[in-house]
Structures are given as structure tokens and as C-alpha cells.
């Protein structure tokens, strides 16, 4: 399976029910207006070839990561697993931890952020407010400062809700836009169009086996800043 070497090396977990992949910043999880081939279709071809499956292969998208974001993303290999994983997400029982590199040191070494997010679909952007607005949704996360270099700071973020561009909007609201995130106020883009936001860890109870699954995804080590902090 030579065409799937990159994919195989980035699979963090695979069984009959679930597949977890370490996504690269340039990849899209589901199809969008760019017409680029999404990961869900690439992985279907990978599974079809690996298991010599006739006909269509089922693969459900449990959650998405924005295109410029890297890290662990979960796919369901059966409709039963998809339904149960979606339930875990809704119930807050699928824990997601992110790493973010920011230029500005946050006001506190750790904090619990609560904002109310509104979404502009035309701009594909969310805006964070300190009080309820019309059509806003409550967004919560916890962060702590893990490490610092001369110019940047590494934050660990635990998502408590799953809103559109939530981490990006909330960090900007406290004056800490993610490195490379021009859309949310960082002054420059990264050369490869990535942003320094990485889905570092996923922790949940397997929907079928009922075992605890904890997956850690390495940050892109071809990036000097991620390499420094890793």
C-alpha cells in the first residue's frame, strides 16, 4: 500500500469500530468548496484496500478539525460506533485537550474562560463576548501555561464545549491569538498556512469495548517551534 505510507504512519488507533488519525495542518476532514480530497475519502480507500473490501466502505466523521489545525481526529467505522461516539460528544464524555502556541503571555498562568460566541457564516468567523448576545452560544474552556520560549508561550487547553472556532476566538478575546492565525488577529500567517493549534489528546470510554482509550498525537516535529515545545 505505497500510496498510503503517510496515512499508515499517522494512524494512532484502529480497531473494527474506530480509527483515530494524526491530521496534518493542510488536510481537510470533510469535503468543502475547495474540492480537495478530504481525509474521510482517503481513509475509505485505505480501508477498502487494507481489508480487501468489496463495495462501499462506511466511515463516519465524529468531529472535525479546522484545515490549518493539526492533531487527533476520530472516525467511526460502523454506524453503531458513530451513534455512540456522537452521544459521548453531546454528553461531554469525550475529553479533548489541545496545545496552542501564542505570542502574548496570558493574564494568568491558568484560567477558566467563559464567553458567548456569535458566528458570521459569510466570513466563516466567530466572535467572543463577555455577555449573552442575540443568537450567541456559551463557550467554555480551561487553559494552563505549560512552557515559554523567548518569544512564545505554550498553552494546554481543555475544551468544555465544542463551538465553531472556539479556541481561536476565546484566546483572541484575552489578547492571545494563536500563532499564524491571521483571521483571529495574529499579525502574520505561517509559511505553510498552518496555525499553531494542535489536538494533542483524546480521552474517552470505547463505545463498544467499554475500555478507556487515551490517545496522544505528536505535534508536527518538522516545525521548529513545535519541536522546541515537544
Q: Give catalytic residue positions.
A: 66
For the chain, list the strands marked E by DSSP.
11-14, 18-23, 60-61, 70-76, 95-102, 110-120, 125-129, 137-148, 153-159, 197-205, 212-216
The answer for residues whose C-beta is within 8 angstroms of residue 213's C-beta and 6 or more apart is 13, 18, 202, 203, 204, 205, 206
Separation of alpha carbons 99 and 197, rounded Å:
6
- Specify the 3-state DSSP secondary structure of 79: helix
Query: CB–CB of 177/101 below 8 Å?
Result: no
Dihedral sign for Cα 44, 13, 153, 105, please. Answer: positive
Separation of alpha carbons 223 and 36, rounded Å:
24
Amino acid at each position: 500500500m505505497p500510496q498510503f505510507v503517510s496515512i499508515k504512519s499517522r494512524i494512532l488507533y484502529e480497531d473494527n469500530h474506530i480509527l483515530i488519525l494524526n491530521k496534518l495542518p493542510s488536510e481537510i476532514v470533510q469535503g468543502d468548496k475547495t474540492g480537495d480530497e478530504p481525509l474521510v475519502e482517503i481513509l475509505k480507500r485505505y480501508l477498502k484496500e487494507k481489508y480487501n473490501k468489496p463495495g462501499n466502505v462506511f466511515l463516519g466523521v465524529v468531529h472535525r478539525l479546522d484545515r490549518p489545525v493539526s492533531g487527533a481526529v476520530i472516525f467511526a467505522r460502523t454506524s453503531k460506533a458513530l451513534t455512540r461516539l456522537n452521544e459521548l460528544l453531546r454528553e461531554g464524555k469525550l475529553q479533548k485537550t489541545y496545545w496552542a502556541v501564542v505570542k502574548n503571555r496570558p493574564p494568568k498562568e491558568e484560567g477558566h474562560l467563559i464567553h458567548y460566541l456569535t458566528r458570521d457564516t459569510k466570513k466563516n468567523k466567530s466572535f467572543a463576548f463577555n455577555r449573552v448576545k442575540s443568537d450567541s452560544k456559551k463557550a467554555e474552556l480551561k487553559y494552563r501555561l505549560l512552557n515559554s520560549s523567548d518569544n512564545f508561550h505554550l498553552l494546554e487547553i481543555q475544551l468544555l464545549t465544542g463551538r465553531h472556532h472556539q479556541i481561536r476566538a476565546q484566546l483572541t478575546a484575552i489578547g492571545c491569538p494563536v500563532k499564524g492565525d491571521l483571521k483571529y488577529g495574529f499579525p502574520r500567517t505561517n509559511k505553510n498556512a498552518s496555525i499553531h493549534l494542535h489536538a494533542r489528546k483524546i480521552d474517552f470510554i470505547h463505545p463498544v469495548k467499554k475500555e478507556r482509550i487515551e490517545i496522544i498525537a505528536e505535534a508536527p516535529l518538522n516545525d521548529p517551534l513545535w519541536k522546541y515545545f515537544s
